[in-house]
Amino acid sequence: METLEQLSEDRRVTVRRGGEPKTGGRAVVYWMQHAQRAVDNPALEMAIAAAHALELPVVVYFGVIANYPNANWRHYHFLAQGLRDVAADLAERGIAFVVRRSVDGDSLEAFLAEVDAAMLVGDENVCREPERWRRALAGRLAIPYWTVDADVVVPSAIFDRSFVLLHHFRPHLKRELEAWLRPIPVTEPVREWDGGRFRGWNLEGEITEGFPEEFDRRVGPVESFTGGTHAALKRLREFTETQLGDYNERRNQPEVRGTSQMSPYLHYGHISPVTIALAARQAAADGKASAETVEKFLDELIGWRELAVLFVRHNEHYDTWECAEPWAQRSLLAHASDPRPWLYTLEQLERAETHDELWNAAQREMVRTGWMHNYMRMYWAKKILEWSPSVAVGYQWAVTLNDRYELDGRDPNGYAGIAWAMVGKHDRPWFDRPVFGLVRYMAGGSTGKKFDSGRYIAQNPG
């Protein structure tokens, strides 16, 4: 078994606070936040390995705060469904799991004192607020604190920078990919927690009960998706066994089953991208999909997604139009005074009250189901740019609506998608035109070449 020093050298690990574990500590605590799963979770496995090195039990803690940035009832409901799967899967491994809420007066630091933790292991989230919390916590702790990159296939720290275009990133990713795209080793705990049962939130209850009045309950849960690892794995099996083979032909068609629909589960960490990628490769080995089709799918799952994570990690303006490349900023500013063919308010957009029934259908799909067809996300964002009083305002409206209604909102993939559509991020200059300048334009009529717009509108009526 490896020593703590050897474990800390893993390229997935960031040592937030070093030093020696607390003498006489009773447990290693894994603070689960972004990687909400007990399957293929390198952060959990690192906590177990550290517990082995110290000959201690590992305890998993999940803290629910009522004011997570831009989260609402829809998001918390999906999250709570996932926590039930985490509890069941951890119980099978004999690992103690505790869920506590800030509205009940609980905190991570109080829990660390309660269990007399020897050290803390957490997962990572490159978005602004979660990263700030982790940095602040590291400054307050007196015990070692490591975080583990459990959100991507290749640890983001390996690249240590962002890339302008995907084809710039691909060679760097390719050099590293095979070393990381393999099953995550599972280590059984050296011993179980013997300090008695923990009090905590009732997993069968309503997780938002008792939240303050200002908590956003206007956006309710959806029936289109069930949260959790078990639902994610079920959907993955369905996709790889019966639909991946037609992915190239069907992914830009209105039928939602033409895509994997893994993005909500990836956002909450209910499933690992490694799990998905290995299942896709196995489908190719079993003759259920061609190698070419699988590589196209993996380009979306790993290439574009991990490029998005690097974008958010290295660009502090990832959720504003200021993230644009200089060529796009100059071009959009040069066209800032161009007449807009249509102008709408945020409220009109939110209610899908535009002249464009294709755009309205996309907005309705997002509001009703918590998900928007991947092809339509591009069109949706580009039209917001065209119909808003300025690029800065339109960009903020797109981020607001995306984060409010999408189950996979508040995520690097969403922010990178909006940046690509509206301000040319990870794209190249195109032909100059009003409003858009050199940013790629997309017309409703042109979608018909790849996408059956009429069928999509019929599937999402007003």
In this predicted structure, the answer to whether residue 379 has a pLDDT above a threshold of 80 is: yes
Tell me the average pLDDT across 362-382: 96
Tell me the average pLDDT across 165-171: 98
User: Do 47 and 142 lie in a common domain?
Assistant: yes
Tell me the average pLDDT across 334-358: 97
CA triplet 5, 111, 45: central angle to 5 degrees? 40
pTM given for the model: 0.97
Q: Which strands form 145-148's sheet, in the order they lie side by side?
A: 13-17, 145-148, 117-123, 27-31, 58-64, 96-101
- DSSP type of residue 21: P
Question: Residue 288: which domain range?
Answer: 229-314
User: Do 297 and 408 lie in a common domain?
Assistant: no
Percent of the chain with pLDDT over 70: 98
Strand ranges (E), 353-433: none
CATH number at residue 368: 1.10.579.10
User: Do 134 and 40 lie in a common domain?
Assistant: yes
pLDDT for the residue 257: 67
Who's near 12: CB < 8 A, 6+ residues apart?
42, 46, 148, 149, 150, 155, 157
- How far is the C-alpha of 415 from the C-alpha of 312, rounded, in Å? 8
Please report, in angstroms and rounded to a whole number, the separation of the first and last CA atoms in the chain: 60
User: Do 299 and 364 lie in a common domain?
Assistant: no
- How far is the C-alpha of 130 from the C-alpha of 119, rounded, in Å? 20
Cα–Cα distances in Å, from 287 out to 181, 237, 240, 245, 283?
20, 15, 11, 9, 6
User: Do 284 and 396 lie in a common domain?
Assistant: no
- How far is the C-alpha of 242 from the C-alpha of 135, rounded, in Å? 44
User: Do 335 and 419 lie in a common domain?
Assistant: yes
Q: In this structure, how many other beta carbons lie within 10 angstroms of the beta carbon of residue 214?
A: 8
pLDDT tens for 71-95 read 999 999 999 999 999 999 999 999 9
The last residue of one of the domains, among 314, 341, 370, is 314
Tell me the average pLDDT across 233-260: 88
In this predicted structure, the answer to whether residue 446 has a pLDDT above a threshold of 80 is: no
Task: Please count the structural domains in the chain.
Answer: 3
Asked if residue 276 belongs to a domain, the reply is yes
Tell me the average pLDDT across 129-148: 97
pLDDT tens for 262-285 read 999 999 999 999 999 999 999 999
3-state secondary structure of 97: strand
User: Do 10 and 144 lie in a common domain?
Assistant: yes
